[in-house]
Amino acid sequence: MDVVLARQLLSVRLLECYLDTSINSHFEFCSPVFKSRSPASSVLGEALQEHSCTKSNSGSIRAYAATTSSSGSTDRSTSSSGSTYRSTEQSNDESSSASSDGSPTSVVASHTSTGAIIGIVAAIVFAVAIAIGIGIWCIRAQRKKKQTKLELIESQGYHLWEDETIVTTRIPREKVILETLISSGGYGEVYRGSFDGQPVAIKMLPQHSRRNIQLVNAFLAEAKLLASLDHPHIIHFVGVAWNSLTDLCVVSDLVDNGDLRALLDSYDSNHHPTGFDYVKIIIAFHVAQALTYLHSLQPMVLHRDLKSRNILVTHEMVAKLTDFGVSRERSDATMTAGVGTSLWMAPEVLLGHRYDEKADVFSFGVVLSELDSHVLPYAHAKSSQSGNKLSNTAILQMVSLGSLHVQFSENAIPLLKDLGQACVSMDPAARPSAAEVLYHLQLCLKAC
């Protein structure tokens, strides 16, 4: 049994040594690790040294080696120790022969080494494949992300092509021809152009905003609102056109005489008398009619950006309210979003408080002061110390605190002056409604 055990242990040791050598030859960069004797090898060596058969036959091994060396014969030993050595030697020869002649031990070692290499290579290939797959996925995801912002609108469109109002007013985009830029602002660009050979105004989002979901959505909301309005003193909506939402445009009637601000600037430069004449009252009357209409709708519509630049005037001095980019249907009692142009804003809007349609009435009162004096709101406001014109920030602070109000000239009709001052009251409840404003303007027209 001791001899058999020794042969088995030696075979295992030879196999381990062969594996160490094979692995070292394939992975030289790891040689310090692989060339070091493994714990298993150390344990095996110690076991061989301590084993009884190894100890008892050590002398016989030396004697046999000496005899073999002197006689050159390997067949002589007949003693029990020689037999033992012959058995051991035969085991070594068999192991060596098996290793060199493709015996099972060599095959196992070879297969183990090849299998290890194949496994490692397969793992590397698998890892590279995963890395490539992740890279491709990231690229596609990035492209999809870039497309999603616009494609989400085009595919869902915020129900644009499902909305009855928009669908019934959609016009062919190829028939809408852009010509020259009329004006440009934060909410869009307005072009002079034509539709079916007729002159029109074409409003589009600025180039940098056409892929912004929120701005496109707001633009579509304006188009839908305009399509639902029908009043002689609100700009007439022709239709909405698009091939893709990047070239979405809202088409309306062209008023080529400019806006009220341009008219008042010409009055000021030409020293037109201040105060209210018939033309000015008519313009105010038209605007009040438009406001009364908006505030009477269900739900009520607030313009929220009423100012002289958003009032167009025809050659016949017919006023038309335009630019509903920040207008909203009021579905609840109050609103809090501070929108509009600052110098025309009501104090409650500037302060971020709740507001209602009386904010539009305040803006109308500011417009009345422009019609009277021809100049921009609060143009008279100056610093008490330096005498210089106040900054817009200082003006807005004083307006929100109620320490600064628009002024009316000495030439203003008392009834209209009183009406204007009532419109710009600090307390929204003290302001008249749009319908009450319209009534007082009718009285003024009859008195003219």
- Known catalytic residues are 305
Judge whether residue 250 has pLDDT over 90: yes
Picking from 135-139, 187-191, 206-210, 437-441, which range would have the lowest pLDDT averaged per residue? 135-139
Question: Percentage of the chain surpassing pLDDT 90?
Answer: 44
pLDDT 10s digits, 264-298: 999 999 999 999 999 999 999 999 999 999 999 99
Residue with tokens 């905003």: 209
Q: Is residue 127 part of a domain?
A: no
231 lies in some domain: yes
Q: Higher confidence at residue 167 or residue 394?
A: 394
Q: What is the CATH number of the domain that holds 261?
A: 1.10.510.10
d(CA 308, CA 107): 97
pLDDT surpassing 90 at residue 9: no
Q: What pTM was estimated for this model as a whole? A: 0.63
| 3-state SS assignment for residue 51 | coil
210 and 279 part of one domain: no
**Cα distances (Å, whole numbers) of residue 213 to 86, 223, 250, 301, 304:** 92, 15, 17, 23, 22
Q: 208 or 13, which is more confident?
A: 208
Dihedral over alpha carbons 44, 46, 48, 52 (to 10 degrees): -140
Q: Are residues 388 and 280 in the same domain?
A: yes
For residues 190 and 264, membership in a common domain is answered with: no
Mean pLDDT of 26-55: 43
21, 166: one domain? no
Tell me the C-alpha to C-alpha distance, in Å, between residue 313 and each of 36, 98, 246, 260.
97, 109, 31, 6
Please check whether residues 360 and 240 belong to one and the same domain: no
User: What is the DSSP track for 277-315?
Assistant: -HHHHHHHHHHHHHHHHHHHSSSEEE----SGGGEEE-T
Q: What is the pLDDT of residues 60-114, one digit of tens each?
A: 434 444 444 444 444 444 344 444 444 444 444 444 444 444 444 554 455 556 7
228 and 275 together in one domain: no
CB 167 within 8 A of CB 157: no
Q: Which two tokens stand for residue 239?
A: 């239709």
Q: In whole angstroms, what is the distance from residue 354 CA to residue 333 CA?
A: 9
Q: Among the three residues 122, 150, 171, which one is the final residue of a domain in this structure? A: 122
Give the DSSP letter string of 136-181: HHHHHHHHHHHHHHHHHHHHHGGGTTT-HHHHHHB--GGGEEEEEE
Give the domain range for residue 213. 160-254
